[in-house]
């Protein structure tokens, strides 16, 4: 299965992606994680991305598209993947369509995790406090200014993807305000209604009867 999780910061994409990894044997392809790894490794991509990320702005489309394309080609992604944090702009979505067509792959479903904006800030603040409590190092963009920028970037650049995928008939909107297990159940219910989703990630439903 190949899935996209769309939603603003704090919507629960990472949490749901993790559950999908465990239950369906997919790999989670988080562009945020990939970029943070590039920053930590000090690669040229990381050097370009760092300041933009710290400010809560998006990094250039071509750079992210290249990272994702390379990642999809790795052997572990053959069993299926969840894109988390990508695509984030309409040009990225168009590039993804071309990329998948070139690779002979198709998407199975797009999920929008819908959450009221006014609770997102408090969710992210809670996550920061919990990480602090566990003594974990904080993300350099988990501060109020960068968070507001990330929300603004979502609104202006990523939200249009909801219409983009709705038009293709691929969009499934899930209420991200529900408790985590309910959100997971809503996602699973859509997945079980997909013809390709029957059986495990490795199995393929050949019969259409
Ligand atoms: P969140 O969803 O909490 O905002 P992510 O970990 O997905 O966080 O992303 C962190 C930052 O990484 C973004 O604010 C942006 O700078 C950069 N980034 C991640 N994915 C993309 C993308 N697809 N296009 C451009 N920038 C991205």
Residues 76-116: tens digit of each pLDDT = 999 999 999 999 999 999 999 999 999 999 999 999 999 99
Report the pLDDT value the prediction gives residue 198, as an integer from 0 to 100.
42
Report the pLDDT value the prediction gives residue 173, as an integer from 0 to 100.
97
Domain count, the chain: 1
| Residue ID of nearest Cα to ligand 1 atom 9 | 32
Domain presence at residue 113: yes
Decide: 56 in ligand 1 pocket, CB within 6 A.
Answer: yes
Q: CATH number of the domain at 145, please.
A: 3.40.50.300
Domain presence at residue 197: yes
| For range 149-168, the mean pLDDT | 96
Decide: 176 in ligand 1 pocket, CB within 6 A.
Answer: no
Domain that holds residue 196: 2-26+79-207
Write the CA distances from 5 to 39, 44, 51, 87, integer angstroms. 23, 27, 25, 9
Domain presence at residue 72: no
Domain presence at residue 164: yes
Closest ligand 1 atom to residue 33 Cα is: 6
Would you call 73 helix, strand, or coil by DSSP?
Answer: coil
Domain presence at residue 65: no
- Note if 71 is an active site residue: no
Model pLDDT for residues 172-201, shown as the tens digit of each residue: 999 999 999 999 999 999 999 987 644 444
Token pair for 175: 């209420």
Domain presence at residue 39: no
pLDDT at 130 over 60: yes
Report the pLDDT value the prediction gives residue 14, as an integer from 0 to 100.
93
Domain presence at residue 179: yes
Identify the CA nearest to 117 among candidates 35, 177, 36: 177
Among residues 2, 50, 71, 88, the one annotated as catalytic is 88
Among residues 2, 36, 71, 150, the one annotated as catalytic is 150
Among residues 55, 114, 127, 149, the one annotated as catalytic is 127
Report the pLDDT value the prediction gives residue 171, as an integer from 0 to 100.
97
Domain presence at residue 127: yes
Report the pLDDT value the prediction gives residue 127, as an integer from 0 to 100.
86
Decide: 27 in ligand 1 pocket, CB within 6 A.
Answer: no
Buried b / exposed e over 181-209, threshold 16 CB at 10 Å, is eebbebbeebbeeeebbeeebeeeeeeee
Min mean pLDDT across 8-22, 38-52, 113-127 is at: 113-127
Decide: 12 in ligand 1 pocket, CB within 6 A.
Answer: no
Decide: 50 in ligand 1 pocket, CB within 6 A.
Answer: no
């Amino acid at each position: 299965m190949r899935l996209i999780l769309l939603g603003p910061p704090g919507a629960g994409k990472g949490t749901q992606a993790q559950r999908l990894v465990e239950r369906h044997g997919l790999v989670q392809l988080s562009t945020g994680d990939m970029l943070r790894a590039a920053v930590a490794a000090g690669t040229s991509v990381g050097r370009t991305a760092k300041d933009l990320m710290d400010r809560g702005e998006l990094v250039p489309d071509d750079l992210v598209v290249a990272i994702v394309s390379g990642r999809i080609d790795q052997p572990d992604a053959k069993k299926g993947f969840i894109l988390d944090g990508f695509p984030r702009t309409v040009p990225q979505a168009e590039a993804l369509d071309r990329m998948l067509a070139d690779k002979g792959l198709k998407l199975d479903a797009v999920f929008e995790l819908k959450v009221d904006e006014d609770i997102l800030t408090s969710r992210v603040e809670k996550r920061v406090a919990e990480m602090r409590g566990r003594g974990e190092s904080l993300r350099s963009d988990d501060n109020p200014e960068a968070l507001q920028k990330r929300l603004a970037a979502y609104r202006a650049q990523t939200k249009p993807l909801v219409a983009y995928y709705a038009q293709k008939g691929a969009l499934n909107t899930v209420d991200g305000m529900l408790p985590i297990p309910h959100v997971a159940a809503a996602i699973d219910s859509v997945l079980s209604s997909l013809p390709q989703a029957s059986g495990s990630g490795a199995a393929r439903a050949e019969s259409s009867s």
